[in-house]
Amino acid sequence: MENKTVLNVDNIVMQFGGLRAIDGVSFSINEAEIFGLIGPNGAGKTTMFNVITSNYKPTSGCVSLGDITITGLKPNVVVNKGIARTFQNIRLFGSMTVLENVLIGFDRAIHYSFLEAALHVGRFFSAERKAKEEAMKILEYIGIAQHANALATNLSYGNQRKVEIARALATSPSLLLLDEPAAGMNPKETSELAQLIFKMRDDFKLTVLLIEHDMSFVNTLCERVMVLDYGKPLFSGKTQDAINDKTVIAAYLGDIDYA
């Protein structure tokens, strides 16, 4: 059976003044694939995420999700098309509970009038109740339902990362972008996270693009990777081949631990 391409990144260039943060990068990801985007600090990985989510408009090149061209769409429209992300520096609303943070992900699916919302009646009430039920189901699925009513900032670092994943899942994505999801996690949390990512992929037919410096984590999850260096494509192919590639080792892997 032929692989279905979910994400196609075509010859992206992203210029910031005199700096070319991404310089002619192309890759594509198949449905239900877990694909790694790796490279040294400043290589352009997060910038690539911002281009894919349309937070940055690339200087040239094109991103498509299935048959839809994403480039030029507004970021909220891109979420509606099925792309969700988490952030390298966790971005949760610290003064809100875990449940409320996840409910934010449902906002696009809730339809009610201003009056209904102001009076807490009609479609507002039933939509809110339904969203809460769905959010609780996601928290249970992720394994943090017991923290639903805790303030997000009071959770451990690892659990805060899980709340970000829960919020992303609430938007029903077809493509999930994870920016350094294992950063700050201990080995047990990291291995549980890897299992969760496999499970989400299988249960939701989710396609995953992840940025990660932990090469053992990348090697566990990703069959293929794209390696960037100073914005340029350095290597694209099987993770095992990247680990043994002399140019990749010289530019990147020589400096980091991977067991």
Q: Which residues bind ligand ATP (CB under 6 A)?
A: 16, 19, 21, 39, 41-47, 88
Nearer to ligand ATP, 101 or 190 (CB): 190
Nearer to ligand ATP, 45 or 85 (CB): 45
The number of beta carbons lying within 10 Å of the beta carbon of residue 16 is: 11
Question: In the block, which residue shows the tokens 């496999």?
Answer: 198
State in angstroms the smallest separation of the CB of 195 from ligand ATP: 25
Nearer to ligand ATP, 39 or 158 (CB): 39
Are 178 and 4 in contact by the 8 Å Cβ rule? The answer is no
What gap in Å lies between CA 33 and CA 30, rounded to an integer?
5
State in angstroms the smallest separation of the CB of 66 from ligand ATP: 25
Two tokens, residue 248: 């990749």
Interacting residues of 202 by C-beta distance below 8 A, sequence separation 6+: 32
What gap in Å lies between CA 121 and CA 139, rounded to an integer?
26
State in angstroms the smallest separation of the CB of 85 from ligand ATP: 13
What gap in Å lies between CA 207 and CA 234, rounded to an integer?
23
Nearer to ligand ATP, 134 or 179 (CB): 179
State in angstroms the smallest separation of the CB of 50 from ligand ATP: 7
In the sheet where 207-211 sits, what is the strand order? 83-85, 175-179, 207-211, 34-38, 224-229, 232-238
Among left, alpha and beta (phi > 0; psi -120 to 50; other), residue 222 is beta
State in angstroms the smallest separation of the CB of 254 from ligand ATP: 16
Nearer to ligand ATP, 213 or 224 (CB): 213
The number of beta carbons lying within 10 Å of the beta carbon of residue 201 is: 17
State in angstroms the smallest separation of the CB of 255 from ligand ATP: 12
Are 227 and 238 in contact by the 8 Å Cβ rule? The answer is no
Nearer to ligand ATP, 44 or 58 (CB): 44
State in angstroms the smallest separation of the CB of 45 from ligand ATP: 4
Nearer to ligand ATP, 46 or 174 (CB): 46
